[in-house]
């Protein structure tokens, strides 16, 4: 990095994810958003401290000269096409869309209803669940930033699977609850105040697009995932019902998680008690608690879907990619 400061671009800055990135980078001691582009003018006036001018519809690649990494916050499909351009221009990419999360183009087509627009890049993408991808991130040129639900489910689940603490013949249940910001700024019936406030509901039971992503990373299909919509703006709390491998106790599961994440700056495994949403809102933490219930181990995780579940993890990935302090801009 020249002068020790990373120069970054945000392509698609008008949504919640892009806005959160702008906030985080504004506080980052070693990175600077040099190029900020949105595809449409947001109609809600931004608070004065946010930039409102740089509205650009088509990317002028010359603007990426000297940029160290570009964050893509475009819709899926569009994002992959943009990624190809940016990579061709020699700039590294952290893609916050779903376009590079699935390794299998056929599964992508089934899940997203269209052929993958940049299949040749699928093999090059690193799945950026930072704590489990660090060694691959350092040289990566294309990082697929994980989905919010997958982040909340994989962080507590992967160590248990990898250490053989899960009964492979049984099914893991992931019952997740998310705030409304996960649905974005679009004006839909689903996000109208009258339909969210004082309400609660499950949606896309059995066919949410994050399920293939979770199953791919977990390496098993024996996961059932049901997302729900909470009447809050930010945060995801996932309740996992884990069938233990023979003889495994909740205490052993907790010990495993504590060991795996002992040195992690952004994963907090609780010795006692269980995480609440408000403990993580506005932070890049993933908090994890463990309890026993009947013949299941109940593992509860909480993240801020816009931070650890999106823009915070993207910055964390950037920090690792560029050799910066991993926690820079995230405390």
Q: Is 286 a catalytic residue?
A: no
| Nearest-approach distance from CB 85 to its own copies, in angstroms | 31
- Residue 60 or residue 193: which is nearer to its own copies going by CB? 193
Closer to its own copies by Cβ: residue 103 or 222: 222
Least distance from its own copies to the Cβ atom of residue 37, Å = 21
Q: How far apart are the first and last CA of the chain?
A: 22
User: Please, how many CA atoms are within 13 Å of residue 278, restricted to the half-sphere of its CB?
Assistant: 0
Per-residue interface string for the shown chain with its own copies, residues 246-275, x marking contact by CB under 8 A: ----------------------x-x--xxx
Read out DSSP for 85-146?
Answer: HHHHTT-EEEE-SSTTT-S-HHHHHHHHSS--TTGGGGGG-EE--GGGTHHHHTT-SEEEPP
- For the CB of residue 259, give the shortest distance to its own copies in the complex, in Å: 17
Q: Verify binding: residue 117, its own copies, rule CB under 8 A.
A: no
Query: Which one among 124, 278, 325, 327 touches its own copies, defined by CB under 8 A?
Result: 278
- Is residue 21 near its own copies by the rule CB under 8 A? no
233 binds its own copies, rule: CB under 8 A: yes
Which residues from 182-221 bind its own copies, rule CB under 8 A? 185, 187-189, 191-203, 205-206, 221
Q: Is 169 in the site for its own copies (CB under 8 A)?
A: no
Cβ-based nearer residue to its own copies, 128 or 212: 212
Pick out residues in 32-51 that bind its own copies (CB under 8 A): 43-45, 47-48
154: tokens are 């994989």
d(CA 228, CA 239): 11
Task: Pick from 84, 222, 255, 258 the residue near its own copies by CB under 8 A.
Answer: 222
CB of 50 to its own copies, least distance (A): 10
How many chain residues touch its own copies (CB under 8 A)?
Answer: 71
d(Cα 75, Cα 266) in Å, to the nearest integer? Answer: 27
Nearest to 213 by CA among 76, 118, 321: 76
| Contact pick of 223, 252, 255, 264 for its own copies (by CB under 8 A) | 223
DSSP 266: S
Cα–Cα dist 63/275, whole Å: 43
Q: Answer whether 198's CB lies under 8 Å from 231's CB.
A: yes
Cα separation, 302 vs 287, in Å, equals 5
State the SS3 of 208-230. Answer: CCHHHHHHHHHCCCCEEEEEEEC
Q: Which is nearer to its own copies, 129 or 229 (CB)?
A: 229
CA 95 to the chain's CA centroid? 10
Residue closer to its own copies by CB (options 120, 189) is 189
168 binds its own copies (CB under 8 A): no
Least gap, CB of 138 to its own copies (angstroms): 28
Which residues form the catalytic set?
Answer: 148
């Amino acid at each position: 990095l020249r002068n020790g400061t990373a120069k970054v671009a945000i392509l698609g800055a008008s949504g919640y994810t892009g806005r959160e990135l702008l906030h985080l980078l504004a506080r980052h001691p070693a990175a600077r958003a040099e190029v900020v582009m949105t595809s449409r003018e947001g109609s809600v006036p931004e608070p004065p401290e946010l930039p409102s001018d740089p509205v650009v519809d088509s990317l002028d690649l010359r603007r990426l000269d000297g940029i160290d990494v570009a964050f893509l916050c475009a819709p899926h499909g569009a994002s992959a096409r943009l990624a190809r351009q940016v990579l061709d221009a020699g700039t590294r990419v952290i893609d916050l869309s779903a376009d590079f999360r699935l390794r299998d183009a056929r599964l992508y087509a089934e899940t997203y209803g269209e052929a993958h627009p940049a299949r040749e890049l699928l093999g090059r993408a690193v799945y950026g669940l930072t704590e489990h991808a660090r060694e691959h991130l350092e040289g990566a040129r294309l990082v697929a930033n994980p989905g919010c639900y997958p982040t909340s489910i994989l962080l507590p689940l992967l160590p248990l699977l990898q250490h053989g603490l899960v009964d492979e013949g049984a099914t893991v249940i992931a019952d997740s609850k998310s705030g409304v910001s996960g649905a974005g700024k679009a004006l839909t019936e689903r996000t109208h105040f009258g339909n969210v406030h004082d309400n609660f509901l499950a949606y896309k039971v059995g066919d949410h697009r994050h399920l293939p992503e979770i199953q791919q990373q977990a390496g098993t299909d024996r996961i059932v995932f049901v997302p729900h919509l909470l009447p809050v703006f930010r945060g995801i709390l996932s309740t996992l019902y884990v069938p233990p491998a023979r003889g495994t106790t909740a205490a052993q599961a907790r010990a495993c998680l504590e060991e795996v994440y002992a040195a992690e700056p952004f994963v907090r495994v609780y010795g006692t008690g269980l995480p609440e949403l408000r403990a993580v809102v506005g932070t890049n933490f993933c908090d994890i608690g463990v309890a026993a219930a009947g013949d299941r181990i109940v593992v509860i995780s909480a993240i801020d879907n816009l931070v650890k579940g999106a823009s915070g993890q993207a910055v964390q990935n950037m920090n690792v990619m560029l050799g910066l302090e991993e926690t820079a801009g995230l405390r």
